């Protein structure tokens, strides 16, 4: 459950970077996602009306984002515009602090989240695995956290496994959606096996040789990872442990 929205699919899909609207539409269908993320900047470009029609036809929950914003004022203004355009209080909050890594600015992120929560938004903050920042975001009203696995669009997989494990353990009652850096279905499955609630993808699907098949692959990997987590993974051992007991074996005479 995310902001009172029940999740049947744990894959959130971005809509940027596809070579054609038709390919995007087919990838959305193949992923079986219920939530798609949309940049107001992307939606407002030439061809925006065609894109809006595609979103209506997809009949998915829209999560607008503040991609490309570098200040509190810019992010808050973009969020208000997105609420008017898409008719939703949901907002994926991005306040970038570093142009090369696209790492969020922790100070501006917390301040923008505070303002938007006070103004009735349901905020999905894009953050790092830093526990202090995460705690501040929760304190200002965020009920969901979106830590990165690695920089946006890098496909570097999970760069700080222990950091994400600690975040999952510390914020056990808060939905955590891994956002950014996942490049392969196996990496998404690992995230879900760690107990995260969902994965948000864009580049790994949109830039694949076959985005439709890749969307389906991620769908299956995320489902498998979540089922494995719920089933309970076997504990790791320092030594081998025979599955067949030593006693009761036949003896040679």
Residues forming the active site:
92
- Rounded to whole angstroms, how far apart are CA atoms 159 and 195? 17
Phi, psi of 62 (to 5 degrees): -95, 130
**44 labeled binding residue:** no
According to the annotation, is 202 in a ligand binding site? yes
Measured on CA atoms in the order 4, 126, 109, 35, is the torsion positive or negative?
negative
Q: Which two three-digit tokens encode residue 98? A: 């570093």
User: Which position has the token pair 């939703």?
Assistant: 88
Would you say 101 is a known binding-site residue?
no
DSSP state of 104: B
| Contact in structure between 97 and 67 (CB atoms under 8 Å) | no
Decide if 97 contacts 108 (C-beta within 8 A).
Answer: yes
Compute the chain's Rg from CA coordinates: 20
Task: Quote the Cα angle for 60-26-210, to 5°.
Answer: 130
DSSP conformation class of 75: H
Does 240 appear as a known binding residue? Answer: no
CB contact at 8 A, 232 and 212: no
| Contact in structure between 129 and 157 (CB atoms under 8 Å) | no
68: annotated binding-site residue? no
Q: What is each CA distance from 37 to 42, 55, 132, 202, 227, in whole angstroms? A: 11, 10, 26, 9, 25
**Binding site per annotation, positions:** 153, 180-181, 202-203
**Binding site per annotation, positions for 1-deoxy-D-xylulose 5-phosphate:** 153, 180-181, 202-203
């Amino acid at each position: 459950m995310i902001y009172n929205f029940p999740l049947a699919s744990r894959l959130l899909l971005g809509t940027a970077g596809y070579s054609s609207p038709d390919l995007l539409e087919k990838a959305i269908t193949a992923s079986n996602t219920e939530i798609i993320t949309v940049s107001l900047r992307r939606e407002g470009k030439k061809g925006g009306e065609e894109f809006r029609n595609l979103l209506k036809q997809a009949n998915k929950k829209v999560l607008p984002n503040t991609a490309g914003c570098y200040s509190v004022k810019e992010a808050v203004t973009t969020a208000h515009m997105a609420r008017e355009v898409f008719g939703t209080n949901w907002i994926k909050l991005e306040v970038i602090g570093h142009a090369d890594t696209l790492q969020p600015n922790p100070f501006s992120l917390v301040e923008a989240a505070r303002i938007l929560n006070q103004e009735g938004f349901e905020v999905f903050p894009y953050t790092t695995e830093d526990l202090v920042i995460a705690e501040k975001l929760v304190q200002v009203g965020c009920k969901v956290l979106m830590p990165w696995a690695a920089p946006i669009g890098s496909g570097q997989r999970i760069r700080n496994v222990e950091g994400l494990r600690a975040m999952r353990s510390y914020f056990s009652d808060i939905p955590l959606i891994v956002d950014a850096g996942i490049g392969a279905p196996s990496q998404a499955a690992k995230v879900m096996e760690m107990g995260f609630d969902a994965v948000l993808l864009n580049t790994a699907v949109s830039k694949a040789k076959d985005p439709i098949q890749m969307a389906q692959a991620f769908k299956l990997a995320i489902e498998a990872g979540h089922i494995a987590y719920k089933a309970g993974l076997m504990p790791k051992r320092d030594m081998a442990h025979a599955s067949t007991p030593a006693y009761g074996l036949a003896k040679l005479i």
